[in-house]
């Protein structure tokens, strides 16, 4: 069975958030064309995502040097298990849908923390003498992102660091296919919000059939 992780951070009601609105439409259409798939929603605003601190860095370096997780102290293993909870769930899925508004040219904090949590040595990434090897092969991802400004096909496209980073980290972890639906210009063209929503929704409905 195909498992899909729908990862979002919105705690606003669906009607207030345009990225969630488009994400929900994608999901509704996706369910119609993939009725057998299991869909798991992760609302990051409700999750206790561990953050990378000094203790974690020490453990990370030990693992990177080849120390086995079973050789870590109990306290170190407890820290790792908080990260592994998210990494294991991520590995068990086949497709990922990330839904977020752009904040300060990047991803919301919790989404970045989530990506840190799933980037675990021995789980989603390993290192050999040639460097890193991403272990999330044969998966695919979709990034649905809204923004106040217009980024796509514009001279500020390169300052969309959020999508660039998400794409990079997923590639780094072994996932090569990253689709994108961008609802941009929501603040610049306030009077065209309905039109922009509808355009993105059309794209979402089309992509949902083949994703």
Ligand X SMILES: Cc1cc2nc3c(=O)[nH]c(=O)nc-3n(C[C@H](O)[C@H](O)[C@H](O)COP(=O)(O)O)c2cc1C
Minimum distance between the CB of residue 87 and ligand X, rounded to whole angstroms? 27
Q: Could you tell me the smallest distance in angstroms from the CB atom of residue 103 to ligand X?
A: 4
Q: Which is nearer to ligand X, 87 or 186 (CB)?
A: 186
Q: Residue 102 CB, nearest distance to ligand X (Å)?
A: 4
User: 96: Cβ–Cβ under 8 A, 6 or more apart, which residues?
Assistant: 4, 5, 7, 90, 139, 140, 141, 142, 170, 175
Specify the residue, 102 or 169, whose C-beta has the smaller distance to ligand X: 102
In Å, what is the CA distance from 96 to each residue of 1, 16, 64, 156, 192? 15, 23, 26, 26, 29
Query: Which residue number, 145 or 175, has a Cβ lying nearer to ligand X?
Result: 145
CA-wise closest residue to 206 among 3, 33, 16, 18: 33
Taking alpha carbons only, the member of 82, 91, 20 closest to residue 47 is: 82
**Minimal distance in Å, beta carbon 168 to ligand X?**
18
Tokens found for residue 187:
């603040």
Nearer to ligand X, 15 or 46 (CB): 15
Which residues of this chain interact with ligand X, rule CB under 6 A?
Answer: 17-19, 101-105, 146-149, 186-187
């Amino acid at each position: 069975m195909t498992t899909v992780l729908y990862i979002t951070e919105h705690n606003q009601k669906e009607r207030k958030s345009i990225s969630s609105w488009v994400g929900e439409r994608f999901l509704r259409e996706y369910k119609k064309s993939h009725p057998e798939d299991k869909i798991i929603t992760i609302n990051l605003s409700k999750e206790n995502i561990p953050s990378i601190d000094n203790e974690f860095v020490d453990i990370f370096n030990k693992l990177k040097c080849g120390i086995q997780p079973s050789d870590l102290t109990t306290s170190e293993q407890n820290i790792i298990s908080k990260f592994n909870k998210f990494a294991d769930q991520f590995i068990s899925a086949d497709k990922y849908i990330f839904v977020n508004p752009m904040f300060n040219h990047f991803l919301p904090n919790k989404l970045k923390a989530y990506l840190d949590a799933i980037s675990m040595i021995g789980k989603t990434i390993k290192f050999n003498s040639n460097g890193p090897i991403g272990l999330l092969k044969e998966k695919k991802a979709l990034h649905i992102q809204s923004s106040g400004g217009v980024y796509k096909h514009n001279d500020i496209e390169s300052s969309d660091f959020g999508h660039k980073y998400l794409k990079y980290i997923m590639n780094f972890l072994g996932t090569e296919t990253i689709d994108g639906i961008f609802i941009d210009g929501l603040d610049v063209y306030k009077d065209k919000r309905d039109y922009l929503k509808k355009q993105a929704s059309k794209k979402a409905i089309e992509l949902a059939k083949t994703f």
